[in-house]
Amino acid sequence: MFKGSNVALITPFKDNSLDEESYVKLINFHIQNGTNGLVPAGTTGESPTLNHDEHQKVIEICIKESGGKIPVIAGTGSNSTEEAVSLTKHAENAGANGALVVTPYYNKPTQEGLYQHYKKINDNTSLPIIIYNIPGRCVIDMSVDTMAKLFELKNIAGVKDATGDLNRLDQTIKKLGPEFIQLTGEDGLALEFNKRGGVGIISVTANIAPKQCADMQKFSKSTNNDDIRKAELIDKSLQPLHKALFIESNPAPVKYAAKILGLCSDEIRLPLVNIQKKTEEEVNKALSNAKLID
**pLDDT tens-digit profile of 135-185?**
998 999 999 999 999 999 999 999 999 999 999 999 999 999 999 999 999
Give 113's contacts (C-beta < 8 A, 6+ positions apart): 104, 107
Of 23, 115, 118, 132, catalytic: 132
The continuous run of DSSP H or E covering 74 comes out as strand 73-75
- How far is it, in rounded angstroms, from Cα 226 to Cα 231? 9
pLDDT, position 10: 98
Interhelix angle 52-66/81-94, nearest 10 degrees: 30
Q: Which residues of the chain have pLDDT under 50?
A: none
244 domain-assigned: no
Residue 106 falls in the annotated catalytic set = no
150 domain-assigned: yes
CA distances from 93 to 140, 158, 263 (A): 30, 21, 29
Q: For the residues of 54-72, what is the DSSP string, one character each?
A: HHHHHHHHHHHHHTTSS-B
Lateral strand order in the sheet of 156-161: 37-39, 4-8, 200-203, 181-184, 156-161, 129-133, 98-102, 73-75
Omega cis (within 30) before 48:
no
263 domain-assigned: no
275 domain-assigned: no
- How far is it, in rounded angstroms, from Cα 237 to Cα 244? 13
pLDDT, position 23: 98
**Taking a C-beta distance cutoff of 8 angstroms, is the pair 171, 144 a contact?**
yes
- How far is it, in rounded angstroms, from Cα 244 to Cα 238? 10
3-state secondary structure 205-265: HHHCCHHHHHHHHHHHCCCCHHHHHHHHHHHHHHHHHHHHCCCCCCCHHHHHHHHHCCCCC
Interhelix angle 166-176/144-151, nearest 10 degrees: 40
254 domain-assigned: no
Residue 160 falls in the annotated catalytic set = yes
Burial class (CB in 10 A: 0-12, 13-18, 19+), 176: buried
Of 23, 115, 118, 160, catalytic: 160
Structural domain harbouring 70: 4-227
203 domain-assigned: yes
- How far is it, in rounded angstroms, from Cα 152 to Cα 113? 17
260 domain-assigned: no
Q: What's the number of domains the chain is made of?
A: 1
Phi, psi of 164 (to 5 degrees): 75, 10
- How far is it, in rounded angstroms, from Cα 14 to Cα 16? 5
258 domain-assigned: no
pLDDT, position 1: 78
Bridge partners of residue 156, in order along the sequence: 129
Whichever domain contains 189, its CATH number is 3.20.20.70
